[in-house]
Each structure stands twice: as structure tokens, then as C-alpha cells.
Chain A
Amino acid sequence: MSQTVLELEKLTIALPPGADRANAVSDVDLVLRAGKVTCLIGESGSGKSLVARSILGLLPRPHVRVGSGRILFEGQDLAVAPQDKMRAIRGAKIGMIFQEPMTALNPLHTIGRQLDEVLRIHTPLGKAARRARVLELIDSVHLPEPGRIIRSFPHQLSGGQRQRAMIAMALLLNPRLLIADEPTTALDVTTQAQILYLIRELQREHGTSVLFITHDFGVVADIADEVAVLQRGNLVERGTAGAVLGAPSHPYTKALIAAVPKLGPPAARPANTQPFIVEARDITKTYGTRGLFGGRVTRALAGVTMELRRGETLGLVGESGSGKSTMARAITRLLPIDGGEILLGGADIAKLSRRQLRPVRKRVQMVFQDPYASLDPRQRIIDIIAEGPIIHGTLPAKAREEAQALLGLVGLDASAAQRFPHEFSGGQRQRIGIARALALHPEVLVADEPVSALDVSVQAQVLALLADIKARLHLSMLFVTHDLRVALQVCDRIAVMKQGEVVEMAPTAEIFFNPQHSYTKALFAAVPGGTWQDRKAS
């Protein structure tokens, strides 16, 4: 067993009064060994991020603080270490990278200067020596043209590049421990795969111990040596990656693993020969930024053609910037398109005026991604659901009656009607969003990443609800997602999109068994954890 780098002993982090529970985490025992990647996994609100931050004493004082327990590192208890001692450790002996690369770097300083700052704080090195070291690190994280990177500002780099810069910054002084707080959650699948590979590679080179915080079992399967599972602040299971993933002992872990859709062959589906309900032909959409000197023109949709049969679920899969969300909003006429036709039941709705469009709107309804932004915070639930019918002329009293019934349909109890959105969890809010869409009895449901923002257990319930409703109400569905696992489970046919074009479209089984386009193959390869569910405990 390699040498212990850091040990958490009965760590308890207290929350301020008025929070949903007394302690964020209680009695957490965890050992981080040199050269090993320890994954701490848990759903949102489990307290995993606070554990990471407590090690470096970055808890938002005075509200959240270490209640009891010890954080042993090189013979010291960091929980009670004085500020100056902590500062000597931070950035030098323990490095940390964060989840949001877009905001984690100071927008007004160049990348070079922010890296150089670490050396200025902790080392007596001269300007030239520091510059050399920084260039060396930038190169080690495979960033192109280190000379240019040093002079460029954060907003001039992509999300992935910025995360690489953060990693370089954390590893500048060869720390013994690297804490990574969900570093790839905000990134695309392909970029995520590269970053995970980079961390693994650097970790092996320098024998650093890594504490990796995540909520995605796929990532655990890819990178973890050890795993610890956190449920609402309690460490419920610990062990090697293979053991925990292959043969979980604690029921909570079992449930979590079961909820993750398999990257496996989709269930057989009868061929759908229904007529097309929605046909999109050669849709084009460009965003022009009119800078003073001829700004950049980005082509969101470059001639997309696709069809949706009645009762079918068509998946739109692609990374951010592929145009899948734009396509969804184009079809529901939420945003104007530059060219092409949208046929709904044979009639083109692309050119309709606002007034002509009103009756058509009832037939196509949308479910949104962000549970916290898709409901009007100032409206009661009953009014949110009933608003659609009221707009289209149903008497308010009758509309509310129907809305009340819909609550049952989406699995919410009647008392929810009079409450406000902020009193519900993410999952419950998505159910309300679905009820709102169903209130108008649409023929087509367009779901734009409906479950991406949810925890994996809640994700499963919402997907089940969608499948059940689609079947019962004979709906056709356009399902937009970046997660291939979800797509394989839900969709009948899949269209893979890249930079505004459909690179491949085929029934789900065909896409899984023999993907044609290289990009589709790359997508499959980049799915974290790959087909780990099939691999037996190793």
C-alpha cells in the first residue's frame, strides 16, 4: 500500500441554522494515498464539494465551518492550522482545480501572469526562471503555442484550454495532492475525455495523489483507483473502483449504479411506418456579430434536413455548439430561421405570421433544460400549467381543473398546486414543465436536454415518466441530449449533429452496432466509463 498523503478523521462540517440539515457531512473517514486517484462520488447536495474545500480551508466562513474531526497532512491538522501556515500549503503542497473554467480565472490578467503569481508567492525564483517554468508547465498540459498562451487573456481560450491552464497552475510546484472539484462537468464529452486522460497522465508522471469529486459513475469508471460514496453527508461505502462498481454492497450505491443508463445495445423496437408528423428541410440559421470592422459570422444550422414520424422518438445528439438546441427552438418557432421549410402534418409553418402561428403552437410544445429558469418564480404551479389553455380560450376555472388532473399524471400530489417553484426540487420542477407542455394536448413534444441538469437517480424517474406519457398519449418526441447513454435508452432513431450539420441519422440499433461517421465513433469512444457496466468486477 503506497504511503498516505492525507487522512480525513471523523470530519464533520457544520451548516448555518436554517439549512436543510445540521451538518453538510458527518464523521467522514478517508485516506488519500500517493500515486492514487480517489473518487468521492455523490448526488448534488451530498456535501462532496464542501469536503474538498474544507481541506484547503476554503469554506465560505463564517457560515460553513469544520465542526469536528481532523484533516491530517504532513503531521499537521489543517482544520485548525493558522492562516499563514495554510497559505504556505495552498498552491504549493496541495493544488486545486474547479468546475467552472469560464469564471475561475481573473478576466483582466493574462494566463501567464496568473500562473506566474503562484511562483511569485511561493518561490524566490527570478523573472526569467519563473517564465521558463511556466512555459514548461503550459507545454506539459499540451496547450498549443505556449508563447501565445502566456500573453492571451482567459476569454481568448476555449473551456477545455482554460481547464488545462488551471491544471498547469495547480501542478506548478509539484504538489503532493491535487484536489479536482468536478473539473470536467461543464465540458463537452470529447474535451472531458482528453482532460481525464491528461490528469491520469500527469498523476502517473509525478506520483501525485488526486482527490476527484464527481457525480458521474462513468468518470469514476475511467479514472478512479479508490471510490468513496457519499449520501446526504454520510460515507456509505468505500473500496477499490472495481469492487464498488462491480459489486456494490450498500443499497444506495446499488440504486445509483442501476439508474445509470447502459451504453449497450438498445431494446428492440418495432419499425415505425407511421407518416411524418414533422419534416424539416434544409434549415439554415446564422448569427452575425456586427462588430465595427466586419464581425464574425457563425453558422448555427447549415442546411439541416430531418423527419419525425408520428409516435416516434428522434434523438438529436451532439456536443455544445453543434446546433441541436437551435434546431429544437427552430422547429417550435421560438427563434426565426434564415431558410428552409418546417412541415407540421404536411403544412409549412416556417413562413406563418404570429397570428397564424397561434393555433399551430398548441400542436408542438417544449420542455426546457434548466429546472430553475424554466418556471416563472412569481407564479403558482396551478397558474403555470393552466396558462396555456387560458391563452387559447379555455375558461380559467376549467383550465385549472384540467391542470389539477395533470399534476396527478406527472406524479405530483394535489397540494403542489398553490405553491411556488422555489419550494420544489429540480426533478419536481421538470415534472411541472412537462405538465405545462401537456396542458395543450400537443401532438409533438420537443424535449431540450430535459434531464441533463438532474442527478442520475432523479434522471431515471423523469425519463420513465416521459416514456410512459409518450406511450399513453401517442405523442411524437424530439429528444435533444449530449449524453449518448440516455439517447440509446430513449430514442427510436438518432441524428448525430456537428457544427450545424447532421453527420449521421439512423435507427438507434444501427448507430450503436455500426456507426458510419468518424465523429459518431469518436463520440462513443469519449463516453466516460464506456461499457463499464458490462465489465465484471476486475
Chain B
Amino acid sequence: MRFARYMGYRLVTALPVIFGIIVLNFLLIHLAPGDAASVLAGESGAATPEYMDALRHKFGLDQSLGMQFVTYVSNMAHFNLGYSYRNDADVSSLILERLGPTSLLMLTAFGTAVALGIILGLVAATGRNSWRDNIISLISLVAYATPGFWLGLMMIVIFSIGLGWLPTSGFDTVGAGHEGWAEVWDVGRHLVMPAVSLALFYLALYARLMRASVLEQTGMDYVTTARAKGQTERRIMTGHVLRNALLPIVTIAGVQAGNLIGGSIVVETVFGWPGIGTLAFNALQSRDLNLLLAIFFMSACLIVIINLAVDVIYVMLDPRMEI
């Protein structure tokens, strides 16, 4: 029961935060000069003022900022994320379309990065200052320092054009109409390179964090106590140190999960991956504000949920924390 009340409390307190985010985002975005109508007209090579006014009216841009805000908030209240005039589609359907590929890319990239990072960090920390430690540290630093898009471009040159092993871009082989396993295999082949270029950065980060965290825990008194009990080094590491060392990693992973959407814009652009990142970038370029606001709103909700999840995991992991 307490758990449900706690969750309820957290969600209720999250609402004003999200509302605040919507308001601030709305104001922020309207600072960008130019509007969707002028972009559409610009792209069409010519437009009469009447045509532009018709567009502005259609987009509701002719109303005052206050009015636009009121309509926007009332739409949000009815869970209607608004309409993307530029793409002539409902914003929610646009985002849902892109949510699949994005979450696939995020989960594989971030998932493997965190998992592998933890393992590498553990291996490096246990072999402190041995060759293992130095090599892992150096590799993770090089990976951390490599610009993701540059790596992506290089991988395309090597793996798809040079060796022809992997497709250059896209979510799957368009028009090939695979079904079932063939589709999974096809998407998998397209996923490899974008996931690797996105994952490398986070892999390095978590390897370093885990190494520092494990080193800090091995110095603690309870480890000496465990040794005094006659426990083997390996079981001390798995039974005692690991779980304690994971606590800070969970919080940092929570904070970073929110940034995932943004971070992938560059990788999505290089690999033509139909993710939320490029959707947001194009929406910004074409001043498709309804779509952009919806993406910010979605990422804000995602972050609030992730923070909640992190706190719950933290409470489960660490008995000292009560709700």
C-alpha cells in the first residue's frame, strides 16, 4: 500500500513539473525567427501573400501568441498532441511511427553500452594497474573521444562499401517485403552500425564510472570484514562489492537515459535511421512547432518516468532508502 501511495505522490508532483516544462518550452521555441508557413513557401519556390496568409491561417499562426498557447494547452488537456501541418499528419502518429526504430536503437545501444561497460569496469578494477586495467582504460578513453558521426562515416566506408557486409542506411531493405524472421534479420543488419557508433561513447563512460565505483567499494571496511571471515576474493567481489558499486551507476544511467533522444540526431542523420532525433531536427529546421513541442513533452515525460523507475530500483537495491 505504501508503495502505491508513494507512486501516486510522485506522479502528482510530476504534473506541475511537466506543465512548467510545456510552458517554458512553448516560450523558448517561439523565440526562433521565421515560421512554418515561410519555410513551406520557401521550399515551393514562390508564393503569393494570399497563399502565405492562407497557410498561416491554416496553421493557426495568425492568432496571438497567447491564443496559440491556450489552444495548445487545451489540446494537451484532451491528450491531443496537435497536428503537424508540415507533414500533414497527426503529431502523435508521427511520433509513434518513429518510436519503434528509436527505442530499438536506444535500447540496443544504451543497453549493450551499460552492460558491457559494467563488465569492462569490473575487469579493469579487479586487475588494478595491470595491463588489463591500462588497456581497458585507454580503449574506453579513445572510444569516449571519438566523434560518433565521424566513426559512422568511417564504418560505412569500410563495412558497407568496402566489404559490402552491411547495408549503408535505413531501417530495413525497403520494398523487399520480408516477413517474420527475415525482417528481424534484415533490421538487425541495418541496426549494427548505428548502434555501435552510438554505444561506443556510453560504453566508455560506464566502464570508467564502474571502475572508479568498484575501486572505492574495495576500500570499504565491510570488505576487510568479509576477508576476515575467510571469504574468497571472487565471492567478495560478486557477493558484496558488485551490488554496492552498482548503486551510483543506476542513478547516472537514469539521468543520462533522458539525453538519449538528442544524442542520436547525428548518428540517425548519418545512417538515415528514422528516429525521433532526426524528426526533432527536421521539425526545428522547418519550424513545425507542434511536432517539436510534442517531442519535448514526450522526452520530459520519459525523463520523469525514468527518474521514478531509478528511484524505485534504488529503493529495491538499497534497504537504507525508505519511501
Contacts and interface: CB of A to CB of B under 8 A. Distances in A.
Judge A-B direct contact (beta carbons within 8 Å): yes
Interface in A126-162: 153, 155
Interface residues of A, number: 32
B320 A107 contact: yes
Contacts of A95: 228
A103 B222 contact: yes
Interface centre among A91, A155, A291 (most CB of B within 10 A): A91
Contact of B228 (A91, A103, A109): A91
A291 B322 CA distance: 9
B38 to A, nearest CB: 51
B237 to A, nearest CB: 13
A121 B220 contact: no
A108 B318 contact: yes
A106 B241 CA distance: 9
B225 interface: yes
Contacts of B320: 107, 153, 155
Contacts of A169: 225, 229
B230 A105 contact: no
Interface centre among B6, B226, B240, B243 (most CB of A within 10 A): B226
B221 A108 contact: no
Contacts of B226: 106, 117
B231 A121 contact: yes
Interface string A89-117: 11110011010100111111100000001
Interface residues of B, number: 25
A87 interface: yes
B230 A122 contact: yes
Contacts of A87: 230-232
Contact of A104 (B225, B232, B243, B317): B225
A92 B231 CA distance: 11
A106 B319 contact: no
Contacts, number: 74
Contacts of B230: 86-92, 118, 121-122
Contacts of A122: 230
Contacts of B231: 87, 117, 121
Nearest to B223: A106
A58 B225 CA distance: 10
Interface in A67-97: 86-92, 95-96
A292 B228 contact: no
Interface in B227-270: 227-232, 239-240, 243-244
Contact of A58 (B227, B232, B322): B227
B323 interface: yes
Contacts of B323: 292
Interface of B, secondary structure class, is: helix
Given A87-B232, A88-B230, A96-B228, A104 B221 contact: yes
Interface in B286-323: 317-320, 322-323
Nearest to B322: A291
B173 interface: no
Contacts of A5: none
Contacts of A100: 221
Interface string A265-295: 0000000000000000000000000011100
Nearest to A57: B227
Nearest to B240: A106
A98 B225 contact: yes
A56 interface: yes
B68 interface: no
Contacts of A291: 322
Contact of B244 (A90, A107, A121): A107
B225 A90 contact: no
B221 A98 contact: yes
B11 to A, nearest CB: 14
Nearest to A89: B230
A90 B232 CA distance: 11
Nearest to A105: B222
A405 B318 CA distance: 54
B275 to A, nearest CB: 38
Contacts of B181: none
A106 B6 contact: no
Nearest to A179: B228
Interface in B187-236: 220-222, 224-232
Contacts of A107: 222, 244, 318-320
Given A155-B320, A292-B9, 9 more contacts: A58-B227, A88-B230, A89-B230, A98-B225, A100-B221, A105-B222, A106-B226, A117-B239, A155-B319
Interface of B: 2, 6, 9, 220-222, 224-232, 239-240, 243-244, 317-320, 322-323
29 contacts: A87-B230, A87-B231, A88-B230, A90-B227, A92-B230, A98-B228, A100-B221, A104-B221, A104-B222, A104-B224, A104-B225, A105-B222, A106-B222, A106-B244, A107-B318, A107-B320, A108-B243, A108-B318, A109-B240, A117-B229, A117-B231, A121-B231, A153-B319, A153-B320, A166-B225, A170-B228, A291-B322, A292-B6, A292-B323
